[in-house]
Amino acid sequence: MKKLSLSSVIIYSILFLLSISVLIPILNILAMSLSDPLKVHELKGLDILPKGFSLINYEILLSNPLILRSLFNTIFITVAGTALNLFLTAMAAYVLARTDFVGKKLVMLLLIVIMVFEPGMIPEYLLVKDLGLLDTYASLILYKAINVYYLFILMRFFGDVPESIIEAARIDGAGHFRIFTRIMLPLSKPALATLGLFYGVYHWNEYFRATIYLTDPNKWPLQVVLRQFVVERDNTAMLGQLAGGSYEQIKNLDFASLQSGTIMISIVPLLILYPLILKYYAKGALEGGVKD
Amino acid sequence: MKIKAALSRIRKDWVIYLMLLPAIAYFVIFNIVPLIGMKLAFQDYRIIGDNQWVGLKHFKVLFSSPAFFDVLKNTIIISTMKMIFIFPIPIILSLMINEVRVGPFRKYVQSVVYLPHFLSWVVIAGIWISFLNPADGGINVIRNFFQMPSVDFITSKEHIRWVLVFSEMWRTAGWDSILYLAAIMKISPSLYEAARIDGASSVQQMRYITLPELTGTIVTVFILNLGFFMNAGFDQVFNLINDSVISVIDILDTYVYRIGILNGQYAYATAASLFKGVIGVVLILGTHFISKKISGKGVW
């Protein structure tokens, strides 16, 4: 057993402190959301255990139609968006990685141009407006339907599938589409899972385009509601929806705790998926050298 | 003859083109059309009918507007602060993580420091506003413990830029260390073996083997970051900005958002964002070629 040197004691301590500094602010929010509203004023900024225990904040939030509706919107946009992302990215990646055709160089040039030059937010907004997509889910589902960086990652993965497998299918008379759906997709499950998480996290966290494209609160994703409530400190939408709440609920309102609860609702799905994300996403990032 | 051969190949490969069609159509509509749409910077926007060409009119207004220079100054200051104080952190972090034996503690540290990368800036702003709360937020609890008065960081002009630096560090330092950690993993173990036989301490190994081997990655990441220099972190500022501090953290992108999306001055806002885009491309190409000349290492 190697003796612990002074330098490794220092390194272990610093790393431990860093991890604590990441965790405490998050755990404090969790503790606030779970505290008894009558005791939450005793909770200080470094506390990570709730004062008393109550699920009242979550009861209020999860019976709020605005929150429920936005949660549903986020789930819908994330699932539909990710499915479309994966299908389009995979099909393009197959063609670009495994076939040779007239004009391929031109397509690759197009990809580079797209990667280097990013259009500003105004032309994008005007495009969405001109397409009549303002105030539609489609505006969010279609945006970044193919991310060029992810396309390159998948192309590299498809490129590594042994030619002999494809050759065998071709001899059996399979066309490109059949090879793509019957061979490439099943063989690439880990890569597709990784990209699915890349895209899924993007859709789940998206708020800015939703803010400028959607004016109808019924279509807002959770992040927009969260932003209005937590960042802009605008309680009106929440209050309006609370009018139907019981006296008990309204009496016990603590807005900071409700805000904490809303934050937690928006990150709990990420926390549940986090082990998977670490397994695939971190691995993908290691291999692809992705930085977004 | 050559054209004829190409045509017959295209006819034979129709399935390939059909499979590629959705992607191409998508790229043209959602990437190329708005890219061409940047021409609006040289036009006047019309709701009905064609836009009218006005040459450099918007740029002239832009470059004679004090507001524009204020946001330009803020952008440069904030980006420079982030460059200086955040850029080295993931490198140091990866070197430290590398010193930790593979096991539960290492796994714990990595899982925790990567986490904030997955939270949106809306969520992080919410967490930080609470943590920096002047009444009983965590930072002020610590300050009070050391007999220092509470500070309302979020509305303080003196502190808000540091809030940007530290919250960005909080979010990205862990995740960005992955790139360096991956590069460290690729260093041949025989180098360390030889150094140990020669009696090199672990600090010396870090200084004379790990760091030099990391130079390529560091240069690449630095140049790529420079490409985002003029962004200065739109999502972050957008969620932390408030009336008290707008004069010190209003950046180009928040300015474009305000005059473009909120005030509807589409053409003028596009001119500002085109200016930003051009600087970004110049920065990334410039450093790429300089770095290639000096060290032979560029991005591509």
The ipTM assigned to this model is 0.90
Report the distance separating Cα B247 and Cα B238, nearest Å: 13
Looking at the structure, do residues B32 and B136 belong to the same domain, yes or no? no
Looking at the structure, do residues B117 and B250 belong to the same domain, yes or no? yes
Q: Provide, as residue numbers in chain A, all residues whose Cβ is less than 8 Å from the Cβ of B128.
A: 25
pLDDT beyond 80 at A263: yes
For the segment B63-106, what is each residue's pLDDT rounded down to a tens digit?
999 999 999 999 999 999 999 999 999 999 999 998 888 888 99
Nearest residue to B126 via CA among A16, A225, A208, A201: A225
pLDDT beyond 60 at A245: no
SS3 A246: coil
Domain that holds residue B115: 59-295
Looking at the structure, do residues B25 and B105 belong to the same domain, yes or no? no
Looking at the structure, do residues B172 and B262 belong to the same domain, yes or no? yes
Looking at the structure, do residues B228 and B121 belong to the same domain, yes or no? yes
Query: In this structure, is residue B220 part of a structural domain?
Result: yes
Domains of chain A as residue ranges with CATH: 1-54 (no CATH), 55-288 (1.10.3720.10)
Looking at the structure, do residues B25 and B155 belong to the same domain, yes or no? no
Is the CB of A146 less than 8 angstroms away from the CB of B113? no
C-alpha angle A122-A123-A128 in degrees, rounded to nearest 5: 95
A 149-188: CB under 8 A from B? 175-177, 180
Query: In this structure, is residue B140 part of a structural domain?
Result: yes
Q: Provide, as residue numbers in chain A, all residues whose Cβ is less than 8 Å from the Cβ of B109.
A: 15-16, 18-19
For the segment B42-53, what is each residue's pLDDT rounded down to a tens digit?
999 988 878 889
Our CA-based measurement puts residue A224 at a distance from the nearest CA of chain B, in whole angstroms, of: 8
Query: In this structure, is residue B12 part of a structural domain?
Result: yes
- Report yes or no: A119 at the B interface, CB cutoff 8 Å: yes
Looking at the structure, do residues B184 and B74 belong to the same domain, yes or no? yes
Q: What is the pTM of this model?
A: 0.91
Q: Which residue of B has its CA nearest to A42?
A: B136
Residue A247 pLDDT level (bands cut at 50, 70, 90): low
Q: Is the separation of the CB atoms in A61 and A222 below 8 Å?
A: no
Overall number of domains in chain B: 2
Q: Provide, as residue numbers in chain B, all residues whose Cβ is less than 8 Å from the Cβ of A150.
A: none
Our CA-based measurement puts residue B294 at a distance from the nearest CA of chain A, in whole angstroms, of: 24
Report the distance separating Cα A209 and Cα B120, nearest Å: 13
- Report yes or no: B264 at the A interface, CB cutoff 8 Å: no
Looking at the structure, do residues B46 and B128 belong to the same domain, yes or no? no
Whole-number pLDDT of residue A291: 41
Looking at the structure, do residues B32 and B176 belong to the same domain, yes or no? no
- Report yes or no: B124 at the A interface, CB cutoff 8 Å: no
Element (H, E) at B16: helix B14-27
Look up the CATH number of the domain holding residue B194.
1.10.3720.10
Is the CB of B125 less than 8 angstroms away from the CB of A16? no
Element (H, E) at A20: helix A6-34
Is the CB of B23 less than 8 angstroms away from the CB of A92? yes
Q: Is the separation of the CB atoms in A29 and B127 below 8 Å?
A: yes
Report the distance separating Cα A97 and Cα A103, nearest Å: 14
Query: In this structure, is residue B300 part of a structural domain?
Result: no
Query: In this structure, is residue B127 part of a structural domain?
Result: yes
